[in-house]
Amino acid sequence: MRIGLVTDTYLPQVNGVTTVTRRMVETLRSHGNEAIVLAPRYADRSPGGGGNEHRVPSVPYPPYPAIRLSLPVSRSAIRYLDQARPQLIHVATEGPLGLLGRRYALRRGLPLVTSFHTNFPQYSRHYGAGVLEPLVWRYLVWFHGPARLTQTPGHAVQQDLVRRGLRQAVVWGRGVDCRQFTPTRRDETLRFRLGVRPGQALILHVGRLAFEKNLETMVEAWRVAREALGPEARFVVAGAGPAEKLIATQMPWALRLGFLTPDELGALYASADLCVLPSRTETCGLVALEAMASGIPVVAANAGGFRESVEHERNGLLAQPDDARDFAQAIITLARDPNRRAEMGREARRSALLRDSRIEDRELLACYAALVGGQSVEAACAA
């Protein structure tokens, strides 16, 4: 098969969308298929995923420079796709390049698959632009409407899309690599380098440092937990983004590691004792699954996709999304109870194994094959 993958974010940028898109590329290529990638060109011109890919010039989005904006019309991109002759177009994002990929598939009469990764309507509420939410939904329903399949990583989001008329929505994209993220990567030397003393609990946050991630709640929760725990805990933040200044100024005592590669994250997760995730807008919350696969419990917001992976009191704890005291109490409870952490960590690993990405990868290939072969959407979903 020759599958065209179009995305507004890709390597070297690392986020949930690029992680899933890269998985698609590797799955296709490892099984003898061709992955044809159309993605933005980044300023440093760093290499991407290799293989057959075309980079479109882009500029940084001023409020968030890590996000790139490309023109939705590119003759070189169209020529590239025409020469590559994809049999199906999969659009991973709803931005300018996504529009280009959508238009190309419809004009060439190719099967179109789309992904719904990011809950932009909730983002508009978070940034004080809730009045725009109906318009955002109208655009998203229009964008995904012609797709034969729309993949989204959470059941709640999938059901919401179906209610809005996108009956082709299916759950896909919540698999985790349980070989890369594993408890066997725990490293006591790394803990020492991070300043963790014997008997201390390493409390971790991993993710894009952006205001829609509810970081204000985490800042207050960590402040309360630190006051209660004192030398019993070490607080570490991994990630980058526009809210870095908030973390630096409000939590100068927390160790900030900045951007880490997936390989570095694998060792960090496994070497931590619990991971705190306050976001209420996740469609899946892949970071929770990565932490769980690494054998550590998660303290997460009782919202969005976290509710579909974190089972309260079994493999982690769920806290009220905007209740810093609730988060703090959950952190304190686990930080002071290593036996409970260990049992929850074992359950977390068992839960993550049920979401192993290899299971989803087989489903993806069967789905593509069905659509390329002209089968119905129902056949593609059941394949």
Q: What is the pLDDT along the chain (383 residues), one digit of tens a residue?
A: 999 999 999 988 878 888 899 999 999 999 999 999 999 998 765 555 566 899 999 888 776 666 778 877 789 999 999 999 999 999 999 999 999 999 999 999 999 999 998 876 565 455 555 567 888 899 999 999 999 999 999 898 999 999 999 999 999 988 999 999 999 999 999 999 999 999 999 999 999 898 889 999 999 999 999 999 999 999 999 999 889 999 999 999 999 999 898 899 999 999 999 999 999 988 888 999 999 999 999 999 999 889 999 999 999 999 999 999 999 999 999 999 999 999 999 999 999 999 999 989 999 999 999 999 988 766 666 55
Cα Rg for the chain, rounded, in angstroms?
21
Same domain for 253 and 310, yes or no, is: yes
Give the pLDDT score at 120.
66
Same domain for 63 and 196, yes or no, is: no
Give the pLDDT score at 14.
79
- Alpha carbons 288 and 305: distance in angstroms, whole number: 9
Give the pLDDT score at 63.
64
| 201: CATH | 3.40.50.2000
Give the pLDDT score at 49.
56
Same domain for 193 and 168, yes or no, is: no
Q: Across-strand partners of 234?
A: 202
Please list, residue by residue across 133-168, b when 16 or more beta carbons sit within 10 angstroms of its beta carbon and e when fewer do: eeebeeebeebbeebbbbbbbbeebbebbeeeebeb
Same domain for 187 and 294, yes or no, is: yes
CA angle (103 as vertex; 375, 112 as ends), nearest 5:
20
Biggest CA-to-CA distance, the chain: 63
Using alpha carbons, select from 20, 310, 281, 32 the residue that is nearest to residue 172. Answer: 20
Same domain for 39 and 126, yes or no, is: yes
Same domain for 272 and 368, yes or no, is: no
- The residue range of the domain holding 89 is 2-175+356-382
State the CB neighbour count (10 A cutoff) for residue 308: 21
Strands 112-115 and 53-56: unpaired
Give the pLDDT score at 129.
53
Q: Omega of the bond prior to 96 within 30 degrees of 0, cis?
A: no
Tally of structural domains, the chain: 2
Same domain for 348 and 364, yes or no, is: no
Q: Which two tokens stand for residue 16?
A: 């949930």
What is the dihedral sign for C-alpha 155, 159, 164, 167? positive
Q: Are 115 and 91 in contact (CB under 8 A)?
A: yes
State the CB neighbour count (10 A cutoff) for residue 349: 19
Q: Taking the model in full, what pTM does it have?
A: 0.86
Please list, residue by residue across 73-86, b when 16 or more beta carbons sit within 10 angstroms of its beta carbon and e when fewer do: ebeebbebbeebeb
Give the pLDDT score at 375.
84
Q: Any residues with CB less than 8 A from the CB of 55 and at least 6 apart, and which? A: 39, 40, 41, 48
Q: Any residues with CB less than 8 A from the CB of 382 and at least 6 apart, and which? A: none
Same domain for 70 and 100, yes or no, is: yes
Same domain for 212 and 240, yes or no, is: yes
pLDDT tens across 35-61, in order? Answer: 999 999 987 655 555 668 999 998 887
Q: Are 101 and 39 in contact (CB under 8 A)?
A: no
Same domain for 336 and 238, yes or no, is: yes
Same domain for 191 and 335, yes or no, is: yes
Same domain for 303 and 262, yes or no, is: yes
Give the pLDDT score at 66.
64
Give the pLDDT score at 377.
67
Secondary structure (H, E, C), the chain:
CEEEEECCCCCCCCCHHHHHHHHHHHHHHHCCCEEEEEEECCCCCCCCCCCCEEEECEEEECCEEEEEEECCCCHHHHHHHHHHCCCEEEECCCCHHHHHHHHHHHHHCCCEEEECCCCHHHHHHHCCCHHHHHHHHHHHHHHHCCCCEEEECCHHHHHHHHHCCCCCEEECCCCECCCCCCHHHCCHHHHHHCCCCCCCEEEEEECCCCHHHCHHHHHHHHHHHHHHHHHHEEEEEECCCCCHHHHHHHCCCCEEEECCCHHHHHHHHHHCCEEEECCCCCCCCHHHHHHHHCCCCEEEECCHHHHHCCCECCCEEEECCCCHHHHHHHHHHHHCCHHHHHHHHHHHHHHHHCCEHHHHHHHHHHHHHHHHCCCCHHHHHHC
Q: Which two tokens stand for residue 263?
A: 């390989």
